[in-house]
């Protein structure tokens, strides 16, 4: 079903920066929005009732780590700041993520995203190891394809491993520069589709330019990406450590340092950018470089609040993201919307974030940052990526402006969603996924990972006790 009419729309949000609204009905023909407004059903036309709902563009999550969905609330990292958390969680547990674990983890994360209104996700996967007997890229694209979500893989990794204090930590996987580029090229050959209505894309995404590649390699990576029409992505300035390191080693703050290596532009976006001064924000805005704002994970790790509001004010490209579930156990876009709305106001005053602006970051802003230019707003001609939120729950009672429920109440319940006009959530359910079975698989896999971690660390603890 890629042609239908959504009726009884009282609260429709276009998703643009001006917060425009509509009511009445929205017609989809062959996967694209044909018209909206005061419309009547045509003979034989399928109709979908949006009474008691808010209709928005599908939400766009521009930075995630799906492999972490089976690493939620790891005790050793629960009260750790970023650097210790990295050591205690992803860089301690990555050897335990086999193919089945990654499949289950991806399903958990994608289900959570879909049921919170997400229709597009970019997953930054940065563990590609010769110890694995499977290809993580194939697993992630297959799982996303099975659920119908629009999916971009940001292929991570690097030529350098980051150093941590724990000598017992398994060495982080690294590759030569040629292997990194060749591996990314093979994934792009298999999965990347540059078409405007594409469901599958690939980005070039070393884990961090600061810690995981040599400065001399940055230009070659950028030239490779642009020669293939692939966008560039990475973590940047997630905390003060990134800035201190870059200043000490290169004599410049991270954004200005990357400007010297052709790593800014409208085909580049960075996750976090928490420690980013006004001059750096101005350069990001001037070059069209995007931000994947991760308010919950940055707050959970005590890293701070990114200047997303300032970048938006300067006309820059801001998007919203949930980041990995290992550092943000509520990995859904509704919670991210409310977190951004409240955190910016708490730290900067009530003028720092309007609800309509937050929705724009999560829709049109995200689509622009990822290069999906024909999604992100509900306008004629755009791809029909649509979320229909049910606001009949008590938490939405009494709202004077029910249209803002998806932001103001921390995410309304999703009734239906569509990707290119194809329904992927139907009456609050994922038709092709048994959540009960997934829950049992998740519990089993979590137990297995905990047991394997215990087996792996017991000899190390025994040796430490003897010495």
Within this chain, do residues 53 and 72 fall inside the same structural domain, yes or no? no
- For residue 137, report the phi and psi dihedrals to the nearest 5 degrees: -60, -45
Within this chain, do residues 9 and 103 fall inside the same structural domain, yes or no? no
Is 182 part of a structural domain of the chain? yes
Q: Please, what are the averages of pLDDT over each run of 10 residues along the chain (467 residues)?
A: 94 97 98 97 97 97 98 96 94 95 98 97 95 96 98 97 76 94 98 97 97 97 98 97 96 98 98 98 98 97 97 98 95 94 96 95 98 98 98 93 92 90 97 96 97 81 61
Within this chain, do residues 93 and 34 fall inside the same structural domain, yes or no? no
Range of the domain at 23: 4-57+376-426
- What does the block give as tokens for 199? 């469901």
- What does the block give as tokens for 274? 């928490």
**Bridge partner residues of 236 (DSSP):** 272
CA nearest 419: which of 50, 54, 2, 29? Answer: 2
Q: Considering its fold, how many domains does the chain have in total?
A: 2
Within this chain, do residues 140 and 29 fall inside the same structural domain, yes or no? no
Within this chain, do residues 89 and 13 fall inside the same structural domain, yes or no? no
Q: What is the CATH classification number for the domain harbouring 191?
A: 3.20.20.140
Using the 3D structure, point to which of 327, 355, 370 is the last residue of a domain.
Answer: 370
Is 270 part of a structural domain of the chain? yes
Is 465 part of a structural domain of the chain? no
Length of the chain: 467
72-111: burial string, b at 16+ Cβ within 10 Å, e else: bebeebeebebebbbbbbbbbbbbbbbeebbbbbbbbbbb
- Is residue 77 within a helix (H) or strand (E), and if so which, with residue range? helix 75-78
Pairing assessment for the beta strands 150-155 and 268-272 based on DSSP bridges: unpaired
pLDDT recorded at residue 460: 63
Is 219 part of a structural domain of the chain? yes
Q: What is the CATH classification number for the domain harbouring 415?
A: 2.30.40.10
Within this chain, do residues 42 and 93 fall inside the same structural domain, yes or no? no
**Bridge partner residues of 388 (DSSP):** 55, 416
Within this chain, do residues 8 and 110 fall inside the same structural domain, yes or no? no
CA nearest 225: which of 257, 165, 269? Answer: 269
pLDDT recorded at residue 169: 79
Residues 6+ apart with CB under 8 A from 65: 90, 123, 124, 125, 126, 323, 324, 325, 326
Is 466 part of a structural domain of the chain? no
- For residue 203, report the phi and psi dihedrals to the nearest 5 degrees: -120, 155
How far from 388 is each of 49, 111, 135, 384, 417, CA to CA, in Å?
A: 10, 16, 35, 12, 6
Within this chain, do residues 249 and 390 fall inside the same structural domain, yes or no? no
How far from 370 is each of 61, 138, 151, 305, CA to CA, in Å?
A: 9, 20, 10, 22
Is 45 part of a structural domain of the chain? yes
Within this chain, do residues 359 and 398 fall inside the same structural domain, yes or no? no
Using the 3D structure, point to which of 344, 370, 396 is the last residue of a domain.
Answer: 370
- Is residue 232 within a helix (H) or strand (E), and if so which, with residue range? strand 231-236
Is 304 part of a structural domain of the chain? yes
Within this chain, do residues 18 and 166 fall inside the same structural domain, yes or no? no
- From CA 322, how far away is CA 114, in angstroms rounded? 13
| Number of Cα atoms under 13 Å in the Cβ half of residue 112 | 28
Within this chain, do residues 287 and 416 fall inside the same structural domain, yes or no? no
Alpha-carbon radius of gyration of the chain: 22
pTM above 0.75, yes or no: yes
pLDDT recorded at residue 465: 61
- Classify 305 as helix, strand or coil: coil
Using the 3D structure, point to which of 341, 370, 399 is the last residue of a domain.
Answer: 370
What burial class does residue 38 get, using C-beta atoms within 10 Å of its C-beta: 0-12 exposed, 13-18 middle, 19+ buried? exposed
Within this chain, do residues 108 and 144 fall inside the same structural domain, yes or no? yes
How far from 282 is each of 23, 253, 276, 325, CA to CA, in Å?
A: 37, 13, 10, 31
Is 450 part of a structural domain of the chain? no
Q: Are 122 and 61 in contact (CB under 8 A)?
A: yes
């Amino acid at each position: 079903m890629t042609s239908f009419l959504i009726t009884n729309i009282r609260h429709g949000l276009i998703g643009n920066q001006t917060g425009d609204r509509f009511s009445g009905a929205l017609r989809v023909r062959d996967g694209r929005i044909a018209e909206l407004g005061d419309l009547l059903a045509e003979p034989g036309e399928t109709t979908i009732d949006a009474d008691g709902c808010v209709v928005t563009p599908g939400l766009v999550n521009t930075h995630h780590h799906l492999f972490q969905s089976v690493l939620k609330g790891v005790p050793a990292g629960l009260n750790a700041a970023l650097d210790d958390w990295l050591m205690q969680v992803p860089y301690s547990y990555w050897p335990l993520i086999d193919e089945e674990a990654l499949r289950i983890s991806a399903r958990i994360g994608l289900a959570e995203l879909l049921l919170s209104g997400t229709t597009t996700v970019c997953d930054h996967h940065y563990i590609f190891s010769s110890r694995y007997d499977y290809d993580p890229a194939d697993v992630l694209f297959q799982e996303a394809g099975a659920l119908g979500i629009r999916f971009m893989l940001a292929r991570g990794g690097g030529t350098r491993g980051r150093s941590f204090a724990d000598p017992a930590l398994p060495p982080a996987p690294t590759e030569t520069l040629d292997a990194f580029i060749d591996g990314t090229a093979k994934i792009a050959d298999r999965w990347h589709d540059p078409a405007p209505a594409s469901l599958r894309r690939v980005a070039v995404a070393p884990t961090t330019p600061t810690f995981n590649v040599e400065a001399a390699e940055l230009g070659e990576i950028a030239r490779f990406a642009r020669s293939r029409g692939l966008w560039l992505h990475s973590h940047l300035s997630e905390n003060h450590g990134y800035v201190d390191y870059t200043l000490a080693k290169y004599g410049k703050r991270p954004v200005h340092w990357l400007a010297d290596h052709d790593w800014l532009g409208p085909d580049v976006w960075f996750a976090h950018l928490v420690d980013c001064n006004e001059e750096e924000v101005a350069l990001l805005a001037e070059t069209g470089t995007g931000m994947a704002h991760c308010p919950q994970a940055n707050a959970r790790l005590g890293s701070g609040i990114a200047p997303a509001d300032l970048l938006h004010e300067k006309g820059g490209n801001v998007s919203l993201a949930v980041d990995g579930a290992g550092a943000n156990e509520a990995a859904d876009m509704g919670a991210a919307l409310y977190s951004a709305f409240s955190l910016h106001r708490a730290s900067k005053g009530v003028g720092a974030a309007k609800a309509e602006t937050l929705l724009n970051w999560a829709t049109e802003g995200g689509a622009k940052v990822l290069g999906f230019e024909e999604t992100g707003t509900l306008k004629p001609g755009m791809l029909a990526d649509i979320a229909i939120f049910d606001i009949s729950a008590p938490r939405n009672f009494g709202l004077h402006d029910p249209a803002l429920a998806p932001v103001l109440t921390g995410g309304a319940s999703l009734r239906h969603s569509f990707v290119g006009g194809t329904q992927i959530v139907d009456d609050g359910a994922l038709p092709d996924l048994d959540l009960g079975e997934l829950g049992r698989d998740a519990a089993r896999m979590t137990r297995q990972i905990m047991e394997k971690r215990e087996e792996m660390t017991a000899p190390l603890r025994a040796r430490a006790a003897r010495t």
